Homo-oligomer: A and B are copies of this chain.
């Protein structure tokens, strides 16, 4: 058998900046980044803004324009595009087409930037459009939600939905840079603010016991939207995500996805609720279910389980008719098969073998899931634990 063999590695790097007032003219962070390429390379940038952000920050467009007046070497595309925020961004294929057309209209080339300002959904859409335009235009992410600042916005994935199926098309493509501006978080609703906290609980549970203890200790001030503590949470959570991505299998060529702890149920609940349950809220429910399952099969103690459920309960409802598994026909159970289908290969689910330690299993017992679901329901009926 005759063959030629090809083999190469591609290196990717990017920075995640933490700043405030990104577009204050004397904040050099963004401009310095763009100007760091050699002068012969064109510096051109197109902005796409989440409508929810644009409404909450009515001066944003003007600030962006003022900012780039100071940095004349950078060519700002005059039109700033506004697109619907939330899951609608990923459910409407016309928005994707619109962005591709914009790349053409505004002459965006492989060295120009498309910057997206918004929640995880808008970043996922714009990141995908940037990734496939000219086989990859440089993409800057400016996440504006807790979830996108500590998780989705710092990672390497993008995508949109297809007939309601989450992230059916997309790519792995690292951003050119990420700019986390804490001020954007001030305008979030409580629901959107809290929603991002579940990803921090998730990554703490599978990777970092000390961070989980920090979350226990600071749950009430986080619930009161203490900005200082939220900054700590975001930085720690983002760092854990970055470290995970670079340490393992950045483009997920294998079947293992520890960061998807709690997500097999979450993805299904989101879809079953027609996205009325937020991603982060669904993840909290998924974590509660899978942590309880971990306890029921003897991986963690009941005391540790209750610490987990207690922290989650500060921010979230842990149960919902859609996640209640009374029998083998419960619709959420379909999420297991779909999770396997999406990954291919054998079923691989992350559970907990301790607080701060994930463990993969390849089999899930549906009867025990029923028991886990009942446990969570029972737990949430009790008066809240006094430990917090």
Contact = CB atoms under 8 A, between A and B. Distances in A.
A170 B41 contact: no
Nearest to A96: B169
Interface in A109-162: 109-112, 128, 131-136, 154, 157, 159, 162
Given A2-B18, A2-B19, A171-B171, A7 B246 contact: yes
A41 B172 contact: no
A344 B109 contact: yes
Interface string A172-189: 101000000000000000
A110 B342 contact: yes
A228 interface: no
A4 interface: yes
A13 interface: yes
B251 A10 contact: yes
Size range of the chain A interface in the assembly? 35 or more
B12 A135 contact: no
A6 B109 contact: no
A64 B27 CA distance: 62
Interface stretch (A75-83, A234-242, A280-288): A234-242
Number of copies: 2
A17 B163 CA distance: 37
Contact of A3 (B6, B16, B171): B16
A8 B10 CA distance: 8
A301 interface: no
A134 to B, nearest CB: 6
A107 B341 contact: yes
A172 B136 CA distance: 8
A104 B12 contact: no
A152 B242 CA distance: 34
Nearest to A172: B135
A104 B163 contact: yes
Contacts of A61: none
25 contacts: A1-B19, A2-B19, A4-B15, A4-B18, A4-B235, A5-B16, A6-B13, A6-B154, A8-B12, A8-B246, A8-B250, A9-B9, A9-B11, A10-B251, A40-B345, A41-B346, A104-B162, A107-B341, A109-B344, A110-B342, A110-B344, A132-B170, A135-B157, A135-B172, A171-B171
Given A2-B19, A136-B172, 18 more contacts: A1-B29, A3-B15, A3-B16, A4-B235, A4-B239, A5-B14, A6-B15, A6-B154, A7-B246, A9-B10, A40-B346, A42-B345, A104-B165, A135-B157, A135-B159, A135-B167, A135-B171, A136-B251
